[in-house]
Every structure is written in structure tokens, then in C-alpha cells.
Structure 1
Amino acid sequence: MASRTLKVGCRETEFCRRQTHAILDRLAADLSDVKVEVVQLPEGSVLDGLAAGVCDLHIRGAREVPLELPEGIRLVACTERTDPFDVLVSREGALLEDLPDGAVVGVESSRVLVQMGAFREELEFQRMDDSLDQLYHALNEGEIAGFIVPAEDVATMGWQESVAEVFPPDIVLPAAGQGAFAILVREGVPEAEALAA
């Protein structure tokens, strides 16, 4: 019988919900003695919620973990790194080299913006902070010719068949920790801290 409830903080997007549940499934054996409740929190407030006790545990891409965590939060574990590369999702599977000059390609980070801008100067790379669902909608509506995101994000959404191109690190160097997920916990919660074992 579960002894207590472990609250897992999750950002309010479909991607984050899928990501959280996928990692929780992998941790099921380690969490068998607790009841797990997923608590959805607004974007940008999960770490504050974790520190304040609104939730006990949070899962996010290791590449997104800040260098300095708020007081009272510990990084206790990282999953094994899977595919660390960035990928292109485009209409009809077009490769980057096939896109016409001036085509707009959405990217989610300055890291990709700078590297891709040097690789294909004739394309227009735009930093877009939209969710994956919004990027996919913009693609289908013809607002962008494609978008570049980490392969792990596409896999989380189950969109692997939409990948047109995988970029090797000599074209786009992945972010540190890309392809792995970090488990952050609030100090003083033994059931969460036990995941470090």
C-alpha cells in the first residue's frame, strides 16, 4: 500500500505531460511504495513550486537544468542519454538543402540559430519559443517551411516519422545534456531523494 503521495510538478504543455509520464513509467519500480500525483504548473513556475513545496519532484530535459538551482532543490539523477542530435521536421520531408532561398525555418534556441545561420546563410532562421504543437501547426499552415528541434522532443511526441533530416555534430553541436532527462527533487522528501540510489 502506498505510504504517502509524491507530487510531481509538470509544465502545462502536452509535450511536458508526455515527457513526465514516460519517465515516471521508467521509475515505476522505484516508486511502487508511494502514490504519484502529477501537478500541472504554469510555464516558468515549476522550479519555484518545487522549492516552495507545491510539488516534490520535477522531470525536465537535462539541457534545460539551470547552472544554479534554487535553494532546497537537488538534482538526484539523470536518465541514460538517448539520441542527442537535432532534427529537421519539414513539409513533405524536404531536406534543408532543398528549401528555397529565404525559406523560414523555426528554431528553439540561440545555439541552433547561430550554427544554422552560418551553415545556410540563404535561409531565414527564426527563434521561436512556441510549443512543439504550435510549431507543427505553423508548419501545416505554411507559416514556416520547417523547424529544428532536439530529436528527443520529437520522440517524446511520437513524431519520428516526420523527421526529414538528422544533423551531425559538425553541423549542429548538441547542447550539454541533450538527449537525457534530469530528476530534480525538493530536499527533505525521502521518497524523492531515494531516486538518487
Structure 2
Amino acid sequence: MQVYDSEAELIDALKQGEKHACADLVRRFSPQIYRVALRLMNDPSEAEDVLQETFISACSHAEEFEGRSSLGTWLYRIANNAGLMRLRKKRVPTVSIDEPLELNDDYVPRQLADWSLDPDHAVLTDELRQVMDEGVAQLSDPLRVVFIMRDLQGLSTAETAAHLGISESAVKVRLHRARLQLRDHLAQYLAGTAPGEQATE
């Protein structure tokens, strides 16, 4: 299989329809995209479907890549869209959190840490990463999707709101609630208590 030396060469080859380019794209990005899809869908079978749809779409529409972001970011967005379409079809009932309560910017405590797991900015042990993944999997669909888009993929509040068709205020509330739940999950782990168990005195 032909391997392209740079991302730019790979992009050019994809746009020209070279048969080996798509295989190289899959080889390079499958692990990252699968992790994103699995976090989003919380189901290995659904994640595999999202992964397949992502690369089919990317290889079929390579000419639409304009280079304003990295190739990885473009693939993340395609995976996001594919996953969100599947979640919408599931029509999982959720409680409304669009209600106008505590929506000003001061609502989110300043002491909350940035939960971003961008590999370029976060240094986590494998064990901590597993604990975080477990915590993300336990979030409800509305909270998990917002957390992934904002903190894992780095989309802005406005971009996340536009993708999901909700208000920016709702994005802030969902993100805050997701972070609080994950903070509690990690706190139990760091205190030596398995998540979901009560600490004994």
C-alpha cells in the first residue's frame, strides 16, 4: 500500500481520486476517529458504523476539504455529524435543559478545571484515561455529546449550538453539568473509592 509522506500529499491524492489515498487515510486516522465515535455513541457496533460512514464520506467528498483546519479536525466533524444523525434517529427522550435558569457567564464556577483531553495538551496515565472514558460513557446523551464537542474536539460554544440546534445558553448549562459529573467521578477514583460506591468511614 502506498504511504504518502505528508498530509498535504495525502489530501492532493484524495482529491485526485488515487485509489491508495483512501486506504492511507483510514490507516492514519481510524484509531482516533473510532475513539471519538465510541465516546459519542457509547456502543461499539454503532461506533463501527460511524467510523465506516466517516471514511466513506471523506473519500467521496475529498474535494470539499478546503484546508482551513487539519485533516483530523475535518474527519472529527464528519464523524460528529454521522453520530449525531444516528442519535437523533434513536430519539432518546431527554429532559429539557433549555429553561432560562442560571445562564449568565458567571454560572460556571471559575475554579472548574479544563477537562480537555486533547492529546497535545493533556497528560493522563492510561488508568486515568480509562476512568475518564468510563465517566464520559455514563453521561446522558445530551451531556455527553456537548462535552465531546466542546472539550474533546475543541468546538466553540457557537459551533456546538449550531451543530445541535440548541441555544448557546443550553450548551453552557449542559457542559457545566457534564463537567461536574465527571469531576465527581474522578474525585471518587482519586479518593480510592470506585465510582458509584459510598466511601466508608
Could you say which structure has the higher helix fraction? 2
Fold match by TM threshold 0.5: no
Could you say which structure has the higher strand fraction? 1
Greater relative CO, 1 or 2 (CA 8 Å, sep 6+): 1
TM-score range, shorter chain: under 0.3
